[in-house]
Amino acid sequence: MFIVSFFLIASVALTLQFGKHVSNHSLVMFLFFVLCYVLMHLLYLLVLYVLCLPCNRSKPIRRQRYIARLACMSVSSILCSYMGVRVSVRGQKQLPGVDRTFVMVSNHRSALDPLIVMDKLRVFNVSFVSKPENMNIPLVGTILHQAGFLSLDRDNDRKALETIRTAAEYVKKGFCSMGIYPEGTRNQGDELLPFHVGSFKLAQRANAPLVIACVRNTENPQKFFTDRTKTAFLDILEVLTPEQVKSMSTQQLCDYCRLRIQLCLYTPVDEDPTGPKPGSINMPEPEEDDYDDYDDYEDYEDETVPEETP
């Protein structure tokens, strides 16, 4: 909010100076104020982009750039403030300490979801595995990359596995916590889409706690402008320890996380769905083979991975 207040004060000051020397017409001054206010935001983004240079987005980062993390948090906060987003966060006390990185899985209802996480859980330094299109946005893509965001190409198993490995290394080295949406796309219905089992290799490879979260009421973000009673919910349902994650197969993790999130979506919003369920992780062995999206590539070194067909 400090940044927004600064932009507002600076724009008012420039507008008053403009009125003294050029025009005191109310409409002209108002339009000049709006122009200054918008340019302030663009200039802020441009400065952050320059500070994040140089950047080679084809290679993993060696460390997280603090200015890039600050940019993600501040922009998320600004956007949520402008949209009037009200968020109720429940179960936050279950999260590991701020000095402990983790992996977070959640359902995905709109573009608002990661903004809420970065704003409300800012002290936990959460980056995301995202779709490639987001990383190609001018200016923004460079900042996201330096903050630890990674793009996941689900149509290419080899590249997808490489992304999972890189994300796990970020978590292991303490660069940042990582969030991933196992549905692979936005889904505004109450029924979850099938989860990509390969997403849970990130939790097993990172040897870190697995946070199961659920977001609700983030579909149709534009309604926050008009409906002042609309509230989004971010529920931290459960945190599995690294030992619990290791004791389960990727298929079991996938089924269990999907079940917890689905039950949350069925729960009335005025009821608290957070907290572990007694005996809930004693999952039976899956009847079918424990197939994983990326298992075909697990036993190959990079130089022996089969060539992709053109």
- The answer as to whether 196 is a domain residue is yes
Q: Tell me: the pLDDT tens digits for 65-94?
A: 999 998 899 889 888 888 889 999 999 999
| Stretch among 16-20, 29-33, 160-164 having the lowest mean pLDDT | 16-20
* Alpha-carbon span 183 to 73, nearest angstrom: 24
User: In this model, does residue 302 exceed pLDDT 50?
Assistant: no
Beta strands (DSSP E) in 19-70 are none
Q: Tell me: the pLDDT tens digits for 170-220?
A: 999 999 999 999 998 899 888 999 999 988 999 999 999 999 999 999 988
How much is the mean pLDDT over the chain?
83
Query: Would you call 265 helix, strand, or coil by DSSP?
Result: helix
- The answer as to whether 223 is a domain residue is yes
Report the pLDDT value the prediction gives residue 25, as an integer from 0 to 100.
Answer: 73
* Tokens read off for 207: 């040897």
Nearest to 218 by CA among 130, 71, 107, 131: 107
* Alpha-carbon span 29 to 19, nearest angstrom: 7
- The answer as to whether 106 is a domain residue is yes
Element (H, E) at 73: helix 66-83
* Contact assessment for residue 164 and residue 55, using Cβ atoms and an 8 Å cutoff: no
- The answer as to whether 37 is a domain residue is no
pTM over 0.95: no
CATH assignment of the domain containing 248: 3.40.1130
CA dihedral 64, 99, 128, 221 (to 10 degrees): -120
Report the pLDDT value the prediction gives residue 3, as an integer from 0 to 100.
Answer: 67
Report the pLDDT value the prediction gives residue 21, as an integer from 0 to 100.
Answer: 66
* Number of separate domains in the chain: 1
Calculate the alpha carbon distances from 242 to 177, 224, 282 in Å: 14, 38, 15
Report the pLDDT value the prediction gives residue 56, as an integer from 0 to 100.
Answer: 80
Nearest to 199 by CA among 146, 253, 244, 240: 253
- The answer as to whether 168 is a domain residue is yes
Domain residues for the domain of 288 are 52-298
- The answer as to whether 118 is a domain residue is yes
Give the burial string for 279-301 (b: 16+ CB within 10 Å, else e). eebeeeeeeeeeebbbbebeeee
- The answer as to whether 279 is a domain residue is yes
Mean pLDDT for the stretch of residues 11-39: 76
Number of CB atoms found within 10 A of residue 68's CB: 24
* Contact assessment for residue 293 and residue 157, using Cβ atoms and an 8 Å cutoff: yes
CA angle 231, 189, 220 (to 5 degrees): 45
User: Which burial class, exposed, middle or buried, applies to 268 when counting CB atoms under 10 A from its CB (0-12, 13-18, 19+)?
Assistant: exposed
Report the pLDDT value the prediction gives residue 265, as an integer from 0 to 100.
Answer: 93
* Alpha-carbon span 57 to 65, nearest angstrom: 13
127 beta partners: 178
- The answer as to whether 81 is a domain residue is yes
